[in-house]
Amino acid sequence: MRETPGRGAICWVVTGAGHFLRESVKLMASFKNVDVFLTRAAAEVAPRYGVIEAIEKSSRTVAGEEGYSSAPIIRFSGGAYSALVIAPATANTVAKCVLGIADSLASNFFAQAEKSGVPIFVLPTDVERHVESVTPSGRVIRISPRPVDLRNTDALSGFPGVAVARSAKELGALMHQFSG
């Protein structure tokens, strides 16, 4: 059965990451009333992983990154969303969020959700010293996230109102727990 955390809809940002992408999209399908936003990088990466159709099936709307001010952020203060999910979240987006930079779709949504008291769930790609990832062509590759990226993931975990998951399974558990 599909559910919604809290009473409103979910705003789900997909960033330009291949790692955890298929798992995130699979999880998305277990929730209803999901509005998906793709960062510019995600609009390039997600089609290469063949997940656009699944994203469209799992969501009520899909939008891309347009303009400089991320106009849809006003929906957070307007109470349109009961949760913001950023999954998968690139090292780039996590770094911006940790530093308080708000100059891209994902970092702007993060800042505005936080300012509006909307709970945030993040699944960073860089969670362990060594990760195995899958390329768009299906090849398994070994990646060693940089210390700065791991530090940023840890720092984000300390933000009030932000739940940081280290796997798609954990993200699902945190979100279902929140749904009550």
Among 11, 41, 83, 174, binds ligand FMN (CB under 6 A): 41
**Shortest Å, Cβ 130 to ligand FMN:** 14
- Binders of ligand FMN among residues 115 to 144 (CB under 6 A) are 125, 136
> Burial of 99 by CB count in 10 Å (0-12 exposed, 13-18 middle, 19+ buried)?
exposed
73 binds ligand FMN (CB under 6 A): no
Q: How many CB atoms lie within 10 A of CB 29?
A: 14
91 binds ligand FMN (CB under 6 A): yes
- Binders of ligand FMN among residues 1 to 30 (CB under 6 A) are 15-19
Backbone φ and ψ for 108, nearest 5 degrees, come out as -70, -45
Query: Rounded distance, CA 16 to CA 153, Å?
Result: 17
Report the residue closest to ligand FMN, judged by CB. 16
Query: Rounded distance, CA 50 to CA 136, Å?
Result: 8
Query: Rounded distance, CA 87 to CA 165, Å?
Result: 9
92 binds ligand FMN (CB under 6 A): yes
Residues that bind ligand FMN (CB under 6 A): 15-19, 39, 41-42, 45, 48, 90-93, 104, 106, 125, 136
